[in-house]
Structure 1
């Protein structure tokens, strides 16, 4: 249940650890957007900055939403039921 922040490049780490406010992540295909978003969500929750009920993550497909849920569940000791 580690966040593995050491696996992020400097730009990704900066996006994950942005101040506690809205974040829009724009980048090209294969650049790690899903990794950044899921790690940011886990970082915000794990650090106590927000509760899971305060978060909204938007994707364009159900497949992407399932992938995000899978990744977040692997990083946090949360029951994802009701989050999706």
Structure 2
């Protein structure tokens, strides 16, 4: 599976997919393969045994998050209606993550 995940990627993209230490920020122009890199990295990490609930992928839009989830399901040959291996995987717009963190943070009385 590892070799398949690296097919048709540039060297910098391969390095990003195979990065296993800590978070990874992918900044690139539109159409440069960011979604491909991130989805393949998710599949790569899961193939190494990283549980899906320890993976967080942040996007700018709901549409991008949905597309990213679909691509991960396709790579892992998951049934989108009843995903098993990807249960607990979080792919969400960053604003939702920020709101959830903000809501969970107690505020000091003024």
- TM-score clears 0.5: yes
Which segments of 5 or more consecutive residues in structure 1 lack a partner in the other structure?
none
Tell which structure's C-alpha radius of gyration is larger.
Answer: 2
**Larger RCO (alpha carbons 8 Å, 6+ apart):** 1
RMSD: 2.1
Q: Is the 8 A contact 2:43 2:72 kept in 1?
A: yes
Bigger share in strand: 2
Give TM-score, length-normalised by structure 1: 0.85
Moved segments of 4+, more than 2 Å: 1-4, 80-84
TM-score where L is the length of structure 2? 0.66
The total of aligned residue pairs comes to: 83
Cα distance in 2 for partners of 1:30, 1:22 equals 22
